[in-house]
Structure 1
């Protein structure tokens, strides 16, 4: 009780009337050099999903208010509700630091989204990848070499844009930076997590492709055109396969490794992810592939 009373007495009364929406903009302004544009938009979208709460003084919002508002999101996807609640919890945490409220009303809140059965990833078949690479090999060498790196290394697009020739040593590729947008500025930056820093072995197929490309086009990355090239790459993929994007190569890379028996720790290391992320994202799919393989074997051999 003394602790609670002490926190109440230390509150900053000058911000008593600040609304949830206004305070979230204050948090965004404070973090503008840390948050990417898509993160800022995610924060704003989350607050806009809470029409009753967003215009209330943050000091007056209770746990009951939040639960009532979340009920209106039950019809939305479970992930939308979880994301909204997570962001709201983070904003309340900042409000505690600003001494606007004594405690976080959502500190003990948790919500488990219902898992959809047979959640599917978008992946390429071997034939689709071959068709896509063959289509651009003679027509657009830059798109072709980008597709090769995505196919054989499972890179994120920002990571691929951070590569340079010195990233390649023998048959190993070092991933140690990215080219991304934070606060409206595109620049080379550190990777998002320590797991993202990694060295990836490159197959001979990729090494041969790099050799062919480098002989004709020595410049590896043109920083002035990276943003335009990202857009162009996804458009080029969709020209051939409308339902796919560059990130689907990463999904394909991971599921192929798992389907061929590569252990989880190694797959996580190659992707620059945690084992938990790989389990959540890919393991159910690899199990489905194994079940399908059993069915096929029975069809073939009886």
Structure 2
């Protein structure tokens, strides 16, 4: 059975399962609308991905895509639950048994990302010193990642025309084609001005090998080298540590969570709330370390 056949089978059952669940299970229309979106997204995923005969890996692959979208564990679990419900319904109504993956669940208590201190971030950024072209590029990239909390894909593709120096912000095209304006600090602007003389007039970080911008892989290498200079050379540490630090340091200094959500480009406030958990963890850790009665 190919992708088209699988997606058509699932799509044909959606009107029936929607009607039955809304009535028999007393689900709200809002819940059913959410389920419908999950079903449509999963069907679109099947149609656009060629996994050959590896049907049993569809759900696993889909979960990885959801994680890349920075959704919360609860949101991912709801999406996977909707998919499993649809698959069971198809089989219960005489359709084929579609074995599209294991009964995967996200970890409810998954580890929170490690947050670097302001000093660690500063030391990592300062690793790149000098005026040669590559050093200027690398320093500017790190300054932007931390100053504006951009995703790595957003940072590497910044357009010169979207940098408003006098106003002090960058215009970013984020996920879903949505634009947002992000303030950028004076330090980052200074490095942008130094580095932009080496740009091609279109991209802030032009590639030497193609007519587009530098790759995410290049950005990872730049970040890894800077982090290694401050003693952090672990797997899982990449450009996102600057984004995490950006959000956490704002929160620690009293910024409103909704403002941070807007700056990060999160569509779901739950995704941003992970930083409140980080703050709580850091407060607890500091109390245990410094309060005289913490260990009595």
Shorter-chain TM range is 0.5 to 0.7
The aligned counterpart of 2:239 is 246
Consecutive unaligned residues in structure 1, runs of 5 or more: 1-17, 51-76, 103-110, 179-190
The aligned counterpart of 1:277 is 271
The aligned counterpart of 1:150 is 145
CA RMSD of aligned residues (A): 4.7
Q: What are the Cα deviations for residues 118-171 of structure 1, in whole angstroms up to 9, with x where unaligned?
A: x32133233332232222233622222111111111101122233212212220
CA contact (8 A) 1:47 1:88 kept: no
Q: What are the Cα deviations for residues 14-73 of structure 1, in whole angstroms up to 9, with x where unaligned?
A: xxxx5899615998xx999x7599x848999783388xxxxxxxxxxxxxxxxxxxxxxx
1:164-203 equivalences in 2 (<5 Å): 164-169=159-164, 170-175=167-172, 177=173, 191-192=175-176, 194=178, 197-203=179-185
1:82-161 equivalences in 2 (<5 Å): 84-89=80-85, 115-116=108-109, 119-138=111-130, 140-161=135-156
CA contact (8 A) 1:78 1:114 kept: no
Size of the aligned set, in residue pairs, is: 226
CA contact (8 A) 2:3 2:46 kept: no
The aligned counterpart of 2:250 is 257
Check if 1:233 corresponds to 2:202.
Answer: no
- Structure 1 residue 266: Cα displacement: 0.6
Consecutive unaligned residues in structure 2, runs of 5 or more: 11-39, 60-72, 97-103
Q: Which has the larger radius of gyration?
A: 1
TM-score, normalised with respect to structure 2: 0.58
Check if 1:48 corresponds to 2:57.
Answer: yes
| Larger deviation, residues 142-151 vs 286-295 | 286-295
Paired residue secondary structure (1:173): strand
Q: What are the Cα deviations for residues 79-123 of structure 1, in whole angstroms up to 9, with x where unaligned?
A: 997765454456789x79xx9959xxxxxxxx9866327x32133
CA contact (8 A) 1:265 1:275 kept: yes
